[in-house]
C-alpha cells in the first residue's frame, strides 16, 4: 500500500535523523584565551539609546531590549538579528523590562524612561505579554509617568512590583512602589514617601523574594533646570515581599539629604547589597553642607568589639582610599580619604591620612 510504504519511509528517515543527531559530537569548549581577544562592539538594534535589557534564564540567545523612545526589540540568535515587537502600542518609551523566571513567555514592560536628561519621553503605564512578546496588554498604572524598574516574583509571574518615578514635573500621587498579586488586574501603592518623591530603583533578593530594597528619589524637573535631592530621598527595605517598607537610617548611611538612589543585590552573594547614592561630595549646596561618598556596600568582614563589622578596601586612582564601615542588616558607609606620603631622609615613606 502506498500509504504504508510512505509511513515506513518517513519512520526510517526520522530514525536515521535522530540517530545522526545523537552521534554528532558535542561542540568543543571555547578556551578563555579566545574570549580575551574579543572587544566590545555594537550588535544593534539600530535606533536611539536603549534604557533596559532583559534576558531569558537558561537561554543565552534570547534577549529583549527596550529603547528610550523606540519600543521593544527581540533577538533569538544572540543579537545577530533584531525584530521590533512593540510597534503596535501607543507608547514607545521603555523604562524597564523583566522576564518571569518561572515562565519565559511572561514579560512585563514598564514604560517611560527613568534616566533623566534634558529631553526624554513619558510612558503610559505597565504592559504585559503572555506569548514571549508577540502581543501586549496594558495592565494599569497609566499615570506613573516613568517606570525605571520592574521585578517579578521568581515562582509567581502574577506577583510583580513596579518602581514608579512619576512624571517629575510637579507633585503627584502616582509615585513610589506599586504591587500586584493578580497579574496587573489590581495594584496596591505599597511605598509612598510624598508627592515630590518617586522610586528610582528596586531590587529583589534572588535567594529570598520577601526581601526587597528600594531607592527613592526626590526630583523636580522644570524647563530651566531640575532639582535633585531632598528629605524624601533614601534607601528603603521590605522583608515581607513588598507589603510594608522601612526607611534605613543610621548604621553608616548618609544623614544629610541626598539625591538619586540606585540599589543592587549581588546574585553570587545576596548578603552583599550595593547602594549608589547621589551626594554633594562635601561641597555646600544653597549654603547647606552636603554628604561625602558615592557607593555604600553591605558585607561580612572582621567583627569589632562593639559587635559591628568593618572592612578596609583600597581602590584604584592614585593615593585615594575608601574606608567602609560595614554594619549589620545590609548597611555600609563608604568614606573617601586622601593619603599623603612624606619621605624620610633615608627614602622610606610614612603615610598620614586626613578625611576629605
- How far apart are alpha carbons 160 and 100 in whole angstroms? 10
Question: What confidence tier does 323 reach under pLDDT thresholds 50, 70, 90?
Answer: very low
- How far apart are alpha carbons 274 and 297 in whole angstroms? 5
Please tell me the predicted confidence (pLDDT) of residue 291.
Answer: 82
252: left (phi over 0), alpha (psi -120 to 50) or beta: left
Q: pLDDT higher for 172 or 324?
A: 172
Across 76-102, average pLDDT = 96
Question: What confidence tier does 70 reach under pLDDT thresholds 50, 70, 90?
Answer: very high
Question: What confidence tier does 343 reach under pLDDT thresholds 50, 70, 90?
Answer: very low
pLDDT for residue 302 is more than 90? no
Across 194-216, average pLDDT = 97
Question: What confidence tier does 30 reach under pLDDT thresholds 50, 70, 90?
Answer: confident
Please tell me the predicted confidence (pLDDT) of residue 336.
Answer: 31
Please tell me the predicted confidence (pLDDT) of residue 42.
Answer: 87
Q: Which long-range contacts (CB under 8 A, 24 or more apart) does 42-47 make?
A: 43/79, 43/80, 44/73, 44/79, 44/82, 45/73, 45/75, 45/82, 45/84, 47/73
Phi, psi (rounded to 5 degrees) for 165: -80, -25
Please tell me the predicted confidence (pLDDT) of residue 350.
Answer: 32
Please tell me the predicted confidence (pLDDT) of residue 102.
Answer: 96
Question: What confidence tier does 313 reach under pLDDT thresholds 50, 70, 90?
Answer: very low
Please tell me the predicted confidence (pLDDT) of residue 299.
Answer: 67
> What does CATH list as the number for 49-297?
2.130.10.10
Please tell me the predicted confidence (pLDDT) of residue 345.
Answer: 34
Mean model confidence pLDDT for the chain: 79
Please tell me the predicted confidence (pLDDT) of residue 37.
Answer: 84
Q: pLDDT higher for 127 or 316?
A: 127
Give the start-to-end residue ranges of the domains of the chain.
Answer: 49-297
By mean pLDDT, which of 52-61, 210-219, 246-255 is the weakest? 246-255
Across 301-330, average pLDDT = 29
Question: What confidence tier does 276 reach under pLDDT thresholds 50, 70, 90?
Answer: very high
Question: What confidence tier does 192 reach under pLDDT thresholds 50, 70, 90?
Answer: very high
- The total of other beta-carbon atoms located within 10 Å of residue 101's CB is 16
Nearest 5°: the CA angle 93, 97, 98 is: 165
What is the full DSSP assignment across 283-342? --BTTB-----SEEE----EE-TTS-EEEEEE-SSTTEEEEEEEETTTEEEEEEEEEEEE
- How far apart are alpha carbons 183 and 154 in whole angstroms? 14
Q: Helix, strand, coil proportions of the chain in percent (round to 5)?
A: 10, 40, 55
pLDDT for residue 119 is more than 60? yes
Question: What confidence tier does 108 reach under pLDDT thresholds 50, 70, 90?
Answer: very high
pLDDT for residue 314 is more than 80? no
Please tell me the predicted confidence (pLDDT) of residue 25.
Answer: 52
Across 33-50, average pLDDT = 84
Q: pLDDT higher for 316 or 151?
A: 151
Please tell me the predicted confidence (pLDDT) of residue 297.
Answer: 87
Contact 10, 3 (CB under 8 A): no
By mean pLDDT, which of 149-153, 262-266, 270-274, 332-336 is the weakest? 332-336
- The total of other beta-carbon atoms located within 10 Å of residue 209's CB is 18
Amino acid at each position: 500500500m502506498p500509504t504504508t510504504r510512505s509511513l515506513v519511509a518517513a519512520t526510517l528517515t526520522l530514525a536515521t535523523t535522530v540517530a545522526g543527531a545523537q552521534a554528532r559530537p558535542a561542540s568543543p569548549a571555547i578556551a578563555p584565551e579566545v574570549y580575551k581577544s574579543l572587544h566590545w562592539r555594537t550588535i544593534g538594534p539600530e535606533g536611539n539609546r536603549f534604557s533596559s535589557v532583559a534576558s531569558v534564564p537558561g537561554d543565552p540567545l534570547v534577549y529583549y531590549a527596550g529603547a528610550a523612545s523606540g519600543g521593544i526589540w527581540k533577538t533569538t540568535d544572540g543579537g545577530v538579528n533584531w525584530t521590533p515587537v512593540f510597534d503596535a502600542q501607543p507608547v514607545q518609551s521603555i523604562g524597564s523590562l523583566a522576564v518571569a523566571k518561572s515562565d519565559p513567555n511572561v514579560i512585563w514592560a514598564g514604560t517611560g524612561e527613568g534616566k533623566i536628561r534634558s529631553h526624554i519621553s513619558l510612558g503610559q503605564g505597565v504592559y504585559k505579554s503572555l506569548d514571549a512578546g508577540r502581543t501586549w496588554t496594558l495592565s494599569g498604572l497609566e499615570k506613573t509617568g516613568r517606570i525605571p524598574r520592574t521585578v517579578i516574583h521568581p515562582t509567581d509571574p502574577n506577583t510583580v512590583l513596579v518602581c514608579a518615578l512619576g512624571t517629575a514635573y510637579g507633585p503627584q500621587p502616582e509615585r513610589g512602589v506599586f504591587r500586584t498579586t493578580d497579574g496587573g488586574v489590581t495594584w496596591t501603592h505599597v511605598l509612598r514617601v510624598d508627592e515630590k518623591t518617586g522610586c528610582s530603583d528596586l531590587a529583589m533578593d534572588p535567594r529570598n523574594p520577601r526581601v526587597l530594597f528600594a531607592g527613592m528619589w526626590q526630583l523636580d524637573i522644570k524647563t530651566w533646570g531640575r532639582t535633585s535631592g531632598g528629605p524624601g530621598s533614601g534607601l528603603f527595605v521590605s522583608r515581607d515581599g513588598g507589603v510594608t517598607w522601612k526607611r534605613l537610617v543610621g548604621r553608616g548611611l548618609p544623614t544629610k539629604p541626598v539625591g538619586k538612589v540606585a540599589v543592587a543585590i549581588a546574585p553570587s552573594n545576596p548578603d552583599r547589597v550595593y547602594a549608589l547614592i547621589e551626594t554633594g561630595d562635601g561641597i555646600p549646596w544653597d549654603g547647606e553642607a552636603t554628604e561625602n561618598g558615592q557607593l555604600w556596600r553591605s558585607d561580612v568582614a572582621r567583627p569589632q568589639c562593639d559587635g559591628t563589622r568593618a572592612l578596609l578596601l583600597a581602590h584604584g586612582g592614585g593615593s585615594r582610599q575608601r574606608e567602609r564601615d560595614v554594619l549589620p542588616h545590609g548597611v555600609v558607609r563608604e568614606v573617601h580619604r586622601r593619603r599623603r606620603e612624606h619621605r624620610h631622609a633615608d627614602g622610606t615613606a610614612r603615610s598620614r591620612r586626613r578625611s576629605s
